Amino acid sequence: MTAFKKETEQFAAKGPAATSPQTLPAGIPGETVSVSGKYTVLPGFCDVHVHFREPGFSYKERIATGTAAAAAGGYTAVCTMPNLRPVPDSVGHLREETDIIGRDAVIPVYPFASITVGERGAELSDMRGIAEAFGPGSAAGCRGFVAGFSDDGVGVQSESLMREAMETAAKLGLPIVAHCEDESLRGKGYIHDGSYARAHGLPGISSESEWRQIERDLKLAAETGCKYHVCHISCRESVRLIREAKRRGVDVTCETAPHYLLLDCTVLRDEGRFRMNPPLREPADREALIDGVIDGTVDMIATDHAPHSEAEKAGGLAGSLFGIVGLETAFPALYTGLVKKGIITLEKLISLLTTAPRRRFGIPAGGFSVWDLGISREADPEKFLSMGRSTPFAGEVLFGECLMTSFGGKTVYRRSGAGAGAEAALAEAESAAAGRLPGQA
């Protein structure tokens, strides 16, 4: 039994959220699922946290390869993070990214602009100018708009600057999307400060480095009225703080990633594919995240798809860069580890991947993907369309294979060997959408 299978089976056996097997409704009413023979047609997923590395780092990933990988995973919209060169902190810098998107993307891409100039945390970016040029109501907005402001990759350390950013974002009607990490508490760690780190004498990253900044920001969000979204939460304290803030009426949403729901620090190996930030934490943290998914504290699942070159991930835990890829394994891993174990229903998973992220960020629904949920295969990074190959799910047996993805009436991904049955299922879904869901592709 693999570590992945063991972890998910143990949680399912505890039964805090065991559900009866899902029934799949006919048709495509809104953002649910449709069954056509052996095929399942799902609405296009939306990932609000990806790193496509252009401009500046095209040796890691490009808009073309990133969107191709997204389409292969069933995604028809993504939001790209701003840790680029140049950082999109001005209208001109953001236009460098949107020009590449307009030329190379096969699905819609909604970029985040940075909160601070150069993501250096010293002064605010041109938030107002960016919103006017690329906001939902701008001329650019008809083709795709800036999704909000983020300094993902680093936390905004200054409380006064974050307050100013939230006040500005609230006036502009755009969200602040926060990578929460207190650098004074992080130290030089590269895995969770827990059992594995202690057993191997390695420097760890504390959970407090995450939740302490979330605690600060939730207070600021309550005071400013800003739309506040927390990236990639990984620990139980973060779940508790966000749950309590929602009960108080704070306008907060959050995401977690597939690896935090399905893996923890007990499965770590001294390989670069297990180094990510935040790190894999304790089993109790993973279970708290699943509970948060079930009760609605965790609003959505995003991959934090962060490709690097082979050399940059070849140094083991200590010598590799932070980041893994996830677009092409996300749905199969979640379906295998959560749905097939009876932890959540397929409909709940679709909401986490589709409805909730689109609603929060104002991204229109659109597109479909056709899946054979009965097929199981070992995850093989060498077959990825992404330029990145580093995933902790490599070699795991995962259920669900994406055969085709469609957006805007065009096939944006087709797996070799996808037959007429898959095409017929997709055509049926598109016909139903055209007849009953005006405006959806």
- As annotated, the active-site residues are 304
d(CA 346, CA 348): 5
| Complete DSSP assignment for 184-248 | HHHTT-SEETTHHHHHHT--EE-THHHHHHHHHHHHHHHHH---EEE-S--SHHHHHHHHHHHHT
First to last CA, the chain: 42
Which one, of 417, 296, 345, lies nearest residue 32 by Cα?
345
SS3 31: coil
Phi (first) and psi of residue 2, to 5 degrees: -75, 160
Is residue 47 a contact partner of residue 70, using CB atoms and an 8 Å limit?
yes
In the block, residue with structure tokens 């891409």: 109
Name the packing angle between helices 283-295 and 3-14 (round to 10°).
Answer: 60
Positive or negative: CA dihedral 326, 332, 334, 337: negative
d(CA 421, CA 402): 13
Is residue 206 a contact partner of residue 180, using CB atoms and an 8 Å limit?
no
Question: 278 CB contacts (<8 Å, ≥6 apart)?
Answer: 181, 192, 205, 210, 232, 233, 234, 235, 260
Question: 125 CB contacts (<8 Å, ≥6 apart)?
Answer: 87, 88, 89, 90, 113, 114, 115, 116, 117, 149
